[in-house]
Amino acid sequence: MYIYPVWVRIWHLVNALLIIALVVTGLSLQYSGSDFILMPFKSSVTIHNTSGLLLCASFIYYLLANHFTSNGQYYHFKSKGMIGRALKQARYYSYGVFKKEEPPFPVKVGRKFNPLQKLSYLFVMYLLMPAVIITGIAMLFPDLLPDRIFGILGIHFIDLIHIITGFCLSVFLVVHIYICTLGNTPSSNFKSMINGWH
């Protein structure tokens, strides 16, 4: 079935590339001066800032597209029994998949995401992404930040939120890529995100 429209696939690809660039340059900045160098400091700053601003634009596009197209409905869920459904999917990933069980919530028209995906994507796209984008933009204007927040240096507080959310997004990226190999074949989900057909 055709489930991923062109705009979703382009946005997803752009989002993925920007986040990879941000993770690589973010790590270079965080560990600058140590033996762990992925990229020179100066280039890392330029690429990180540029990618961050592009990610912000991409995120605004994603919010607007979700609002004005039917893609947003995939994120809606009934709270009643959601935890149970998510645990059922988690059980499948950690046990059922080895027993060759059928996925409890297979992809179909009107249900692109399983309950665990819904929860994690909601958490990532509507909590972590805004947090990392807002704190990232804030750090571009250090002069405007309050001197102290909760007793610590304002910019350092903002930076802590930025690197913690950035780290969580990096972990999500790794888990997300691995979970995608749990399709019908290890590569089927990746192909779907290229041609749109599941």
Partner 1 sequence: MKKLLIIGLLFLLSMLLYAQEISTEVIEHSAENSKCFSCHGSSTYSYYNEVLERYVTKRMNPYFIIDSMVYYDQNHRSFDCIDCHSYDFRTFPHDNTLRMEPMPSCLDCHEGDDATADFNFEIINDEFHESVHSTKHSEDFTCWMCHNPHSYKIVARNSENIKETIVYDNNICLSCHADINKYQLISLNEKPNIIDKHDWLPNQFQHFAHVRCIECHTHTSDNTLVAHHIQEKEKAVKKCVECHSSSSTLLASLYKFQAQENRRKYGFFNAAILSEAYMIGANRNLYLNILSFIIFGGVILTIIVHIILRIVLK
The CA-atom distances, in angstroms, between 20 and each of 9, 13, 84, 169, 182 are 16, 11, 33, 10, 21
Q: Which of residues 92-151 bind partner 1 (CB under 8 A)?
A: 94, 97-99, 142-143
Residue 91 binds to partner 1 (criterion: CB under 8 A):
no
User: CB-based burial of residue 116 (10 Å sphere; 0-12 exposed, 13-18 middle, 19+ buried)?
Assistant: buried
Residue 30 binds to partner 1 (criterion: CB under 8 A):
yes
Shortest distance, CB of residue 4 to partner 1, whole angstroms?
25
Question: Whole-angstrom Cα distance, residue 182 to residue 186?
Answer: 6
> Which of 3-11, 33-41, 74-82, 188-196 is the region at the interface with partner 1 (rule: CB under 8 A)?
33-41
Residue 188 binds to partner 1 (criterion: CB under 8 A):
no
Coil vs helix vs strand at 136:
helix
Exactly one of 77, 90, 125, 159 binds partner 1 (CB under 8 A); that residue is 159
Question: Whole-angstrom Cα distance, residue 8 to residue 120?
Answer: 18
Question: Whole-angstrom Cα distance, residue 103 to residue 36?
Answer: 41
Q: Which of residues 163-182 bind partner 1 (CB under 8 A)?
A: 163-164, 167, 170-171, 174-175, 178
- Comparison of 10 and 160: residue with beta carbon closer to partner 1: 160
Shortest distance, CB of residue 6 to partner 1, whole angstroms?
31
Contacts of residue 109, defined as CB under 8 A and 6 or more positions apart, other chains included, come to 1, 3
What residues line the site for partner 1 (CB under 8 A)? 29-34, 41-42, 45, 94, 97-99, 142-143, 152-153, 155-156, 159-160, 163-164, 167, 170-171, 174-175, 178
